[in-house]
A and B are shown apart, each in its own frame.
Chain A
C-alpha cells in the first residue's frame, strides 16, 4: 500500500447520541485508496455506528463524512448508500433458499447491473468466492465459511471503490479465514479500499496495512503497527527464560512470574546487545535453561494498553 495514496473516505468529528449514550464523540480518521484498514475497538466502542453512518443509515448529530471529496453526511443522512460503497454486514445477509448464483443475480440487479455485464460480474464474484462448483446449490446447506464468502461477494459485485466489512470472518475456521483474506487482498490489489471491523487482532496485525482503534466513540490511535507500538507500549522486546527449577534469588534485571516460578521475564530494547548477558546471568545461578523466547509487542498489547482490561458488556 502506497503511503502517499489519496484519502478516499474521510470521517471528521463524527458525533452521534442515542438517548443518554454518546455512541460517537468526535471520531475522525481517513481511509486511503487501495488500503485494507482495520477498525478495532471493544464492544460498544462505536464501530457499528460509525460503519452505519458511513453507509448512510445513521444520521450524524455533528461532523462530516466525505467519499472521494464529496460530503455524504454533514449533520444528517438521506438514508441512501453511495454507489461507490459496498456493504458486507456482520450477518449472513443473503437469501438462504436461493443459490449463490441467484443471490448474486438478485443483488446485482438491485444494484443496476443488467445483461452481459451482470453475467460477467456474477461469474467474477463466484470465482472470487471460490463457489463456481456450488453455484446452483441452495445456500441454506452451506458451511459458515462458504456463506461468509458469498456474503462478501454480494457486497462487492457492483464494483464499489470502497467496501465496509463488519466482522467478515466471525465464526469461521482458520482455513476459511485465510480464504476470505485472500479475497480481500485480491480486491485491494484491484485498487478497492477496504474498511473492516474485527475482534481477531492477530488477523488485523497480519493482514491490515493500518489500524484505527476507537473507544468511547473517539479514535484513540491510528497508524501502522510499528507506529502504534512506538506511541504506546514502546519498541522493547520481552525476553522469557524458562528454567529447570525455580531460581532464588531472582537475578537483577529479571522478574519471576508469580504463577510460574520457573519462568523469568525481562524487557530489553536491544536484543542483540542485551540477550547474551541475560542468559549468562541466569546460567550463573547454576540452574539449567530449557527455553528462551523473545516476543515483540503485538497489536493485542497495544489494544489492551489503550483500552484497558475492563469488560465493556
Chain B
C-alpha cells in the first residue's frame, strides 16, 4: 500500500513540469554557477591591490618597489593613474585607500636603507607606513608579511654587505681569500636581486628558511573542490525539495484526499510512511542528478566514490525526508510551510556549511553548525570525495543522520495525530 502512495506521488511529479524544474533543473543551475565562480579558481585568491609611495627614491627603496611589483600576490600601483601618470605621493595614496580603490598603501620614507636593518633601530630610524582600510582584515596583514619578506629579498647584496661589514668590525677582519669570495657572492646577489619569488638565482635561494607547500589532499587524484559545492548546494536544495514534496500532505488535507486515504486500510502511519519513502527516493534522485551533472560537466570523480556516495545519499535523504515531514505536520497551510521552510533551510544551510565552508568559520560557529542537519551530511560527503575515506569511516555521520531520521519520523507521527481524530 505504501508503494501505491509512492506511485501516486511519482505520477504527480511526472505530470508537473514546474516541480520537475524546481527539483532537478534549478539546483544544477545554481551548482554550475557556484562551481564556475569559485571552484575553478585554481590559481588561488585574487591579487591584492596596493599603492606604493617612494618618498626617498634611494637605490634601496627603488629596488624595494621593483621587488613588490614582482610579487605574484600583489598588484602594485605606484603612479597617480593606473596606466601611467606621475609617481604617487602620500596624499594621493591615502585618497586611493579612502576611495576604496586599494585596501592598503605602502609609504617608503626618505632615508630608508638596508644598512639600517642591521645597525639596530634608533629614534632616527625611518619607519615604513601602511595606510590601511581596516574593513578588509586580510589585505593589510598579507601586505605586512610580504613587505617584511620583500625587505629581505629586494636588496640581498646590500644586506649581505652590511652584515659582512658588521662581522668584519666585531669578529675580526676577513682574510683576502674570504673577502674575494664575499665580493663574488655579493655580485651574484646584486644580479639576481628583485626577481620574483622562487625565480632568483642559487645565491638568493640561500636566503631565508626553505619552505615547500605540499597539497596532500590532491596528491592521489582525489579532492576535487567541485565535490564541496556539489554537496553543499545539493543538500541545501534537497532540503527545499523535501519541504515542498512533504507539503503534498497539506495538499491532501486541503483537497479532502486525506479524509479518503484515512478511511482506507492504510491509515495515518501508512500515509506518512508512503510520503517518507517517496520523498527519500525523490531526494536520492535529485542528488544523483546533481552529482552526475558534476561528473559530466565538472569532472567530479563520482564513479570512484560510488559506494560512499550511495551511503551518504541514502542516509542524508532519509533524514531530509523526515525533516520535511516534520515541517509539513507543523504547518497549517502551504503558505505557512513555504515561509517556515525558507527561513529554517536557509539558516541551517548557512550554519551547516552549504553556503560557506565551515572550516572558515569561527570555532563557536563550527560547533553551532553541528546542531544542523547540513553539517553532518556535508562532513560525510567531504569525507567521501575530499578525504577518500572508507565507508566504515562514515559511521559518525551515518549514526547521527539515522538517529535524526528516527526522531523526525516520530515527531511527524505525533504531530499528524491532529488530522486523525477531533
List which B252-282 residues lie within 8 A (CB) of chain A.
255-257, 259-268
Is B98 in the interface zone, CB < 8 Å from A?
no
CB of B257 within 8 A of CB of A56, answer no
Closest partner residue, chain B, to A59 (CB atom): B421
CA–CA, A160 and B295, complex, Å: 54
CB of A106 within 8 A of CB of B268, answer no
Closest partner residue, chain A, to B268 (CB atom): A79
CA–CA, A106 and B5, complex, Å: 7
Closest partner residue, chain A, to B422 (CB atom): A58
Is A281 in the interface zone, CB < 8 Å from B?
no
**Nearest-Cβ distance from residue A194 to partner chain B, whole angstroms:** 16
CB of A77 within 8 A of CB of B421, answer yes
Return chain A residues, CB-CB under 8 Å to B268.
79
Is A67 in the interface zone, CB < 8 Å from B?
no
> Per a CB cutoff under 8 Å, which of B1, B16, B422 touches A57?
B422
> Per a CB cutoff under 8 Å, which of B7, B8, B266, B421 touches A56?
B421
Stretch in A80-88, A174-182, A255-263 touching the partner = A80-88
List which A88-118 residues lie within 8 A (CB) of chain B.
89-98, 102, 106-107, 109-112
CB of A57 within 8 A of CB of B11, answer no
Knowing A83-B265, A109-B4, A110-B4, the reply to whether A93 touches B260 (Cβ < 8 A) is: yes
Is A193 in the interface zone, CB < 8 Å from B?
no
Closest partner residue, chain A, to B12 (CB atom): A97
Is A138 in the interface zone, CB < 8 Å from B?
yes
Closest partner residue, chain B, to A140 (CB atom): B15
List which B1-21 residues lie within 8 A (CB) of chain A.
1, 4-5, 7-8, 11-12, 15-16
Contact residue range for chain A? 35 or more
**Binary contact track B220-260/A, C-beta < 8 Å → 1, others 0:** 00000000000000000000000000000000000111011
Is B420 in the interface zone, CB < 8 Å from A?
yes
CB of A57 within 8 A of CB of B259, answer yes
List which A223-255 residues lie within 8 A (CB) of chain B.
none
Return chain B residues, CB-CB under 8 Å to A95.
8, 11-12, 257
CA–CA, A24 and B262, complex, Å: 23
Closest partner residue, chain A, to B420 (CB atom): A79
CB of B256 within 8 A of CB of A89, answer yes
Is A52 in the interface zone, CB < 8 Å from B?
yes
**Nearest-Cβ distance from residue B360 to partner chain A, whole angstroms:** 44
> Per a CB cutoff under 8 Å, which of B255, B257, B422 touches A52?
B422
Is A154 in the interface zone, CB < 8 Å from B?
yes
Return chain A residues, CB-CB under 8 Å to B1.
109-110, 112
CB of B262 within 8 A of CB of A155, answer no
**Nearest-Cβ distance from residue A189 to partner chain B, whole angstroms:** 24
> Per a CB cutoff under 8 Å, which of A58, A87, A96, A97 touches B260?
A87
CB of B263 within 8 A of CB of A85, answer yes
Closest partner residue, chain A, to B13 (CB atom): A97
Return chain B residues, CB-CB under 8 Å to A154.
260
CB of B4 within 8 A of CB of A138, answer no
CA–CA, A158 and B108, complex, Å: 92
CB of B421 within 8 A of CB of A93, answer no
Return chain B residues, CB-CB under 8 Å to A83.
265
Knowing A110-B266, A111-B265, the reply to whether A92 touches B260 (Cβ < 8 A) is: no
CB of B12 within 8 A of CB of A110, answer no
**Total contacting residues, chain B, CB less than 8 A:** 25
**Nearest-Cβ distance from residue A136 to partner chain B, whole angstroms:** 12
**Nearest-Cβ distance from residue B108 to partner chain A, whole angstroms:** 73
Is A188 in the interface zone, CB < 8 Å from B?
no
CA–CA, A92 and B420, complex, Å: 19
Is A55 in the interface zone, CB < 8 Å from B?
yes
Closest partner residue, chain A, to B258 (CB atom): A93
List which A150-164 residues lie within 8 A (CB) of chain B.
154-155, 158
CB of A87 within 8 A of CB of B259, answer yes
CB of B255 within 8 A of CB of A110, answer no
CA–CA, A127 and B255, complex, Å: 24
CA–CA, A209 and B70, complex, Å: 101
Best-surrounded residue of A18, A52, A57, A92 (most CB of chain B within 10 A): A57
CB of A58 within 8 A of CB of B421, answer yes
CB of B256 within 8 A of CB of A92, answer yes
Return chain B residues, CB-CB under 8 Å to A91.
255-256, 259
**Nearest-Cβ distance from residue A196 to partner chain B, whole angstroms:** 16
Closest partner residue, chain A, to B271 (CB atom): A110
CB of B15 within 8 A of CB of A138, answer yes
Return chain A residues, CB-CB under 8 Å to B5.
106, 110
CA–CA, A230 and B141, complex, Å: 100
Closest partner residue, chain A, to B265 (CB atom): A112
Return chain B residues, CB-CB under 8 Å to A86.
263
**Binary contact track B57-96/A, C-beta < 8 Å → 1, others 0:** 0000000000000000000000000000000000000000
**Nearest-Cβ distance from residue A126 to partner chain B, whole angstroms:** 18
CB of A18 within 8 A of CB of B263, answer no
> Per a CB cutoff under 8 Å, which of B256, B260, B265, B421 touches A79?
B421
Knowing A106-B4, A110-B1, the reply to whether A97 touches B262 (Cβ < 8 A) is: no
CB of A98 within 8 A of CB of B257, answer no
Return chain A residues, CB-CB under 8 Å to B16.
97
Closest partner residue, chain B, to A96 (CB atom): B255
**Binary contact track A113-135/B, C-beta < 8 Å → 1, others 0:** 00000000000000000000000
CB of B7 within 8 A of CB of A93, answer no
CB of A79 within 8 A of CB of B4, answer no
CA–CA, A92 and B1, complex, Å: 22
> Per a CB cutoff under 8 Å, which of B8, B15, B259, B422 touches A93?
B259
Closest partner residue, chain B, to A86 (CB atom): B263
CB of B420 within 8 A of CB of A110, answer no
Best-surrounded residue of A58, A96, A102, A107 (most CB of chain B within 10 A): A107
Knowing A79-B421, A83-B265, the reply to whether A93 touches B4 (Cβ < 8 A) is: no
Interface residues of A (CB under 8 A from B): 18, 52, 55-59, 77, 79-81, 83, 85-87, 89-98, 102, 106-107, 109-112, 138, 154-155, 158
* Subset of 6 A-B contacts with CB under 8 Å: A57-B262, A57-B422, A79-B420, A90-B256, A94-B255, A106-B4
Task: Name the 7 nearest CB pairs between A and B, nearest first.
Answer: A91-B256, A93-B256, A110-B264, A81-B263, A79-B420, A109-B4, A87-B263
Interface residues of B (CB under 8 A from A): 1, 4-5, 7-8, 11-12, 15-16, 255-257, 259-268, 420-422
Question: A97-B11, A97-B12 are known contacts; what are 16 more A-B pairs with Cβ within 8 Å?
Answer: A57-B259, A57-B420, A57-B422, A79-B267, A79-B421, A81-B263, A87-B263, A89-B260, A93-B255, A93-B259, A93-B260, A95-B11, A95-B12, A106-B8, A109-B1, A112-B1
